[in-house]
Amino acid sequence: MTDTNTRFLSLDVFRGLTICFMIVVNTPGSGATAFAPLLHAHWHGFTPTDLVFPSFLFAVGNAMSFAMKKHSSVGTAAVLTKIGKRTALIFLLGYLMYWFPFFRLSEAGDVTGFPISETRIWGVLQRIAVCYGLASLLVYFLSFRTVIWLSVVFLVGYWLILLGWGDPADPLSMAGNAVLKLDRFLIGDAHLYHGEGIAFDPEGLLSTLPAIVNVVIGYYAGQFVQHKGKNYESVAKLLLVGSALIFAALCWNMVFPINKKLWTSSFVLLTTGLDLAIMATLIYMIEIRQWNNANWTRFFVIPGKNPLFIYLLSELLVIALYMIPVASGGSLFSWINRSLYQKLAPGPIGSLLFALSFMLVCWSVGWFLDRRKIYVRV
């Protein structure tokens, strides 16, 4: 029997779980190396942490499957205006987040402006914005079959572009890939991420092309569950498709390695396959077996109601902690870890405890907003 309910708890839990895990892996405590599963793969390869960002894109697609229903009652101009405004706003928030706090503080205490010529252009929210905008246009104007074929073209075409325009000696290296070459040509090294040892942006323009597919598959997964209902058939089909995508990813990995920082096509298939399996598991646990004790489901639903706001809060709060100096030297962020968490539990355990504590601080803000029915819509 088809369930026509417009919302389902498992999706809200999936989105909140993604946000919580994203904060934990993004804010490990200083003073020790985090546990290996909480670190990104250095280059080729995969860790649980590498699933976080693609899961966020998958969740964006899920949310789109509900929003698109409302678009059917308004004109095309209104839909395009809404998509355009949301895309621009999310992109701008991401850009301003990397520019924040708009000034620099030297060791001597001098304050200078942070030049716009050195700001990072691409980033997490910027990729979310572009993927959301383009995926929305695809599913709004084109048929399911056409979008799926275009998704295949994106994945195969991206593979061919990397092989054809990268360094002939090693087209998939960090220094010789086509993603870096295009970004350098368009915006220059000064506007790229420098945390990899060289100027290279893991959210570069070219690698955004395959990332659109994460949103597209998330959209059709949400649409499928809404149409077929929260039942055993839906769970079985989600698991079947997810398993097929994972198998295809592992086969493709032999010639096109799974790589989060290049967002390779095999990485897209692997992460979407895993997300479908996770969604199926949550539907089985929460919707079918009713293992939805309010204490654990509500914990994840709360951050899922304000996902972008809580993500922005977590990033800006970390920046603020790093900016505040302490008398003993270093930042307040380092002092908290050094004086409390590393003394309480030296090593990666202390790092994890700080990350969990920081996540709970951000969660508490979400709880406060939820109690007052405040939901920040972008």
Q: What is the pLDDT along the chain (378 residues), one digit of tens a residue?
A: 333 344 678 888 999 999 999 999 999 988 888 899 999 999 999 999 999 999 999 999 998 988 877 766 778 898 899 999 999 999 999 999 888 887 766 655 567 777 888 889 999 999 999 999 999 999 999 999 999 999 999 999 999 999 999 999 899 999 999 999 999 999 999 999 988 889 999 999 999 999 999 999 999 999 999 888 888 999 999 999 999 999 999 999 999 999 999 999 999 999 999 999 999 999 999 888 887 666 788 899 999 888 899 999 999 999 889 888 887 778 899 999 988 999 989 999 999 999 999 999 999 999 999 999 988 877
Structure tokens at 278: 């996770």
How far is 34 from 41, CA to CA, in rounded Å?
13
Residues 124 and 203: beta-carbon distance below 8 Å: yes
How far is 183 from 124, CA to CA, in rounded Å?
16
Tally the C-alpha atoms within 13 A of residue 131's C-alpha that lie toward its C-beta.
36
In order of 62, 227, 232, 284, the CA distances from 235 in angstroms are 16, 13, 5, 7
How far is 196 from 368, CA to CA, in rounded Å?
37
How far is 77 from 109, CA to CA, in rounded Å?
51
Residue 176 burial (CB < 10 Å; 0-12/13-18/19+)? middle
How far is 44 from 258, CA to CA, in rounded Å?
6
* Residue 85 burial (CB count, 10 A): 11
How far is 319 from 310, CA to CA, in rounded Å?
14
Structure tokens at 271: 């992460």
